[in-house]
Amino acid sequence: MSIGELVISARELKIIGNMFSEKALRTLFAYVQREEELEVGGDDDDGFNGESGDSEMVYGEFQEAIGGIASQLKPDPYNVLEMRLEGYLNTMYFPAAVDHIRFKKNGRLNWRPPKKEGIEE
């Protein structure tokens, strides 16, 4: 997934808003990519250029980005990352995806929130 695709996805799912800006998303994408650039030996003098035009995230990096988004949108320090991530996915990400017109018209997405107690919004 490229930065453009991630931004479009975040806009469509209404992730970008008052608490999480497009700039924050682009920065998060750059930091997820930074580890890979440092391991490969990026061609930048300072090792970080903010946005790489041809870089794409693999699935593991996408998971890391989702964790970063969840941490910023659910910043409760008393909940561990697993709880924040589960709360974010169940209360924001999946419901927004289910309500998105692209999935509704084709009937491809049939997600229901889990019936668990203990997840605070």
**pLDDT at res. 28:** 92
Per-chain mean pLDDT for the chain: 77
Note the pLDDT tens digit of each residue in 76-95: 888 888 888 998 888 888 88
Higher pLDDT, 90 or 54: 90
The model carries a pTM of 0.69
Q: What is 82-106 written as a DSSP string?
A: HHHHHHHIIIIIHHHHHHSHHHHHH
Q: Which domain holds residue 15?
A: 3-77
Residue 10 located in a structural domain? yes
Kindly state whether residue 27 falls inside one of the protein's structural domains: yes
Number of domains in the chain: 1
